[in-house]
Amino acid sequence: MQPLLQPDYKYKRADGDEVYCYGKIEEDSNFSIVCDDEDYDGIAADIDATIYNTFRKVCKYLEANYRADIAQIETC
């Protein structure tokens, strides 16, 4: 999937595909998640943005604890 807008960060997934990340992470950020399988798209509101304060950390956390097919993350 090619992004329509230039992402703020690109994360290389374990399978070689990329996750395109948009926005700025703040202390109270939630994350809108888009997966290759759209049945799993949604909002992550339980990620501690004081610990996971970079898109690299957020992507690694979600890849390990949610799904490996995340395609896009946006702060909200």
Q: How far is the CA of 56 from the CAs of 23, 44, 62, in angstroms?
A: 13, 16, 10
Q: How many domains does the chain have?
A: 1
User: What is the domain extent for residue 15?
Assistant: 9-75
25 within some domain: yes
pTM of the model: 0.91
66 within some domain: yes
Task: Give me the percent of the chain exceeding a pLDDT of 90.
Answer: 93
54 within some domain: yes
51-60 confidence digits (pLDDT tens): 999 999 999 9
Q: Which two tokens stand for residue 70?
A: 């995340």
Q: Which two tokens stand for residue 76?
A: 């909200």
39 within some domain: yes
